[in-house]
Structure 1
Amino acid sequence: MSIDWDRRHCSRKGHITYAPDEAGLRNRLHASTAVGTVWRCLRCGDFVLGEPHGSGPAELAPLVPRGRALRDLFILRFLAVERVLRGVLVVLAAWAVWKFSNSQDAVHQLFESDLTAFRPVADHFHYDLDHSPVIDSIQKVFDYKKSTLHAAAGLLLLYGLIEFVEGVGLWFAKRWAEYLAVVATAAFLPVEVYELTEKLSWFKIGTLALNILAVLYILIGKRLFGLRGGHAAFEAQCRGASLLEVEVAAGEAGGTQKEPLPVRQRSSTADPA
């Protein structure tokens, strides 16, 4: 079952209509009915009753995401939410490390006193606390220098802020955010692979698979780093899906020769909402 992304989006956000100044194109986008004038939505193509939302030269019409571009926007926003949530967790971890570094001695003393109180229970169940891997790992943390913990907290905070910036950029479908997402995510893939060699878990496997798919999807689908024609080919693809471009092509095919819409530098996500 295929999803009609255009009508799905219009049902949630509303239609977008535009009255171009070019007479031939204008006639193809509107009609008169018994209940009033209707205009074609630039996203789903349905006729909408009422005055257009905007007017002017066709080259200045908003470039509304349609079809695949709209589906891509949905996926980017899913990734954006995931990045922001990850950023929140990383920032919380940075705060915890910084808080621990400032009260390291007190926490260490509390841990040792609790450990001493728990030792008779552990001995009763024949559990060797002195050689426990968990206890050893915790005690190693207490040996870290305060400056080391501060540095770790700073790096975690920086990583969390990068995730926030990346998420906001992806939500608004900014091309720089797509580059940032690919570079930042790919840089941490070796670390995630190494973690799997240390300890295998379904959560780590799922996270690694999601990040690999995200990198490949953005890299290939958005034609980054010159792939598949690069940014020029991506812009041409978006313009080719524009309803105005489609109508111009239809007019030419029908024998009504029109000048093609001037190509201007505009974002392929001028209407990301």
Structure 2
Amino acid sequence: MDWNLRTCSRKGHVTYAPDESRLRERLEAGTPLGDAWRCLRCGSYVLGDPHGSGPADDAPVLLRGKALRSAFVLRLLAIERWVRGVVLVLLAVGVFELRSTQVSLKQVFDRDLRSLRPFFNQIHFNVSDSATVSSIEKTLHAKSSTLTLIGIAVLVYGLLQIAEGIGLWSLKRWGEYVAVVGTTIFIPLEVYEITEKASWLKVVVLLINVAAVVYLLLSKRLFGIRGGHAAYEASLHEASLLEVEASAGSQRQS
């Protein structure tokens, strides 16, 4: 897939007329239909006036090639974070409702359990040994203060996931930092859950989170890795078509 063309097909081409005559000649072409300017993102020539003009240093720095692929990956992570965040927020709401109606829920649970015992006996299912039933009983017997703390913790984590998604989708550097820190903090908990009771879903989620942290650290040069933010911005600038044209022109003169 040509990510540059794919992005231009959705967002449109971006052309620029630099003041430097040498670069201007390399980005402009005459056609029977009029002047055409080379797109800074995909390199295609586009008829019509350029979208901007001025010194080459003021040309827009666009995401191209690997940077576009990186943006696609980050937005996939953002969607995953939003889904997880919404689920956690709904779970927190459920915990708060459980705290406020704990007594009535306990009564309903006991009533329904007694009415279902004959059915469980018919299928030889021992309700007392059910891990699911035991978990429900423990939750219903939990103190109101305990449920409040659980609800607050789940709600904060859910909102953190939503904030991560916003930052990642908008390609903001703070979102990348929040995603790395927030994900790393909970990796030990995920490992603990796997050691307690392993499942393929838990393993897949752990691998995705570890891969996401490593990817963000290396590709975005966070926390000073591989030169840090300055090196990352320089890599974006060097990848712009205008810089490529300038480099090519310098090599030709040499």
- Shorter-chain TM-score: what band? over 0.9
* Rounded Cα–Cα distance in structure 2 between residues aligned with 1:20 and 1:165: 39
Matching residue within 81, 103, 106 for 2:104: 106
Match of 2:217 in 1: 219
Residue 30 (structure 2) aligned to one of 24, 29, 32: 32
5+ long unaligned stretches in structure 1: 257-273
> How high is the TM-score relative to the length of structure 1?
0.89
Q: Aligned residues, how many? A: 254
Q: Distance in 1 between matches of 2:190 and 2:144?
A: 27
Specify which structure has the bigger relative contact order, considering alpha-carbon pairs within 8 angstroms and separated by 6 or more residues: 1
SS of the equivalent of 2:166 reads: helix
Structure 2: distance between partners of 1:35 and 1:84: 48
Matched, 1:168 2:166: yes
Partner of 1:41: 39
TM-score where L is the length of structure 2: 0.95
How far did 1:189 drift? 0.7
State the shift of 1:133 in Å. 2.5
Residue deviations 1:11-40 (CA, integer Å, cap 9, x gap): 222111111222221221111110111001
Which deviates further from its counterpart, 120-129 or 172-181?
A: 120-129
What is the Cα deviation at residue 61 of structure 1? 1.5
- CA deviation profile, 1:64-95 (whole Å, cap 9, x unmatched): 01111111111111111111111111111111
Question: In the aligned structure 2, how far is the partner of 1:199 from the partner of 1:147?
Answer: 28
> Counterpart of 2:116?
118
Higher helix share: 2
List aligned pairs for 1:177-192, cutoff 5 A.
177-192=175-190
Deviation at 1:108, TM superposition (A): 0.7
- Report the counterpart of residue 153 of structure 1 in structure 2: 151
Structure 2 gaps of 5+ residues are none
Identity over aligned pairs, percent: 53
How far did 1:110 drift? 0.3
CA-based RMSD: 1.4
Question: Which residue of structure 2 aligns with residue 270 of structure 1?
Answer: none
Distance in 1, Cα, partners of 2:224 & 2:99: 45
Deviation per CA, 1:41-75: give whole Å up to 9, x if none. Answer: 01001101111112222222211011111111111
Alignment correspondent of 1:263: none
> Which moves more between the two structures, 69-78 or 21-30?
21-30
Cα displacement (A) at 1:118: 1.2
In 1, distance between residues paired with 2:199 and 2:140?
27
Match of 1:266 in 2: none
Q: Name the counterpart of 2:199.
A: 201
Greater alpha carbon shift after TM alignment, 32-41 vs 134-143: 134-143
Give the partner amino acid of 1:255.
Answer: Q
> C-alpha displacement at 1:109, in angstroms?
0.4
Residues 1:140 and 1:15: Cα distance change in structure 2 (over 3 Å): same
